[in-house]
Amino acid sequence: SQQGEEDPQALSIQEGENATMNCSYKTSINNLQWYRQNSGRGLVHLILIRSNEREKHSGRLRVTLDTSKKSSSLLITASRAADTASYFCATDAGGAQKLVFGQGTRLTINP
């Protein structure tokens, strides 16, 4: 069964806008990772944030983690058509490096 829940399940925005996706989880974690997946292909690692971190940036990506609320968010700024993909959060709730994924958010960027 999936541990995490992503919200929303689907998001459609115009190119140039910001996209925010949220992830909630149920148990204590050491880290949380965000991945991107294009059209049912392999997962691309985006960011890992540890439980003692609150915010992390990588290019146009910003990830926050609130361990008290057991939630994380992924913000993509100035979205591009190439950002169209499914985005998944994954925690190590299953044990070290045994990832537990949410159902994903399907993001569509309209040109």
Tokens of 55: 């915010």
Could you say which of 14, 52, 59, 95 contacts another protein (CB under 8 A)?
A: 95
What string marks each residue from 2 to 21 as x (binds another protein by CB under 8 A) or -? x-x-----------------
Q: Count of residues binding another protein (CB under 8 A)?
A: 28
Span from 13-21, 28-36, 60-68, 69-77 in contact with another protein (CB under 8 A): 28-36
The 10 Å Cβ neighbour count of residue 55 is 11
Query: 105 Cβ partners below 8 Å, 6+ apart?
Result: 6, 7, 8, 9, 10, 11, 21, 86, 87, 88
From the CB of 26, what's the least distance to another protein, in Å?
14
Does residue 111 have a cis peptide bond before it, meaning omega lies within 30 degrees of 0? no
Could you say which of 11, 15, 24, 48 contacts another protein (CB under 8 A)?
A: 48
Tokens of 52: 């003692």
- Which residues sit at the interface with another protein, rule CB under 8 A? 1-2, 4, 30-31, 33, 35, 40-45, 48, 88, 90, 92, 94-104
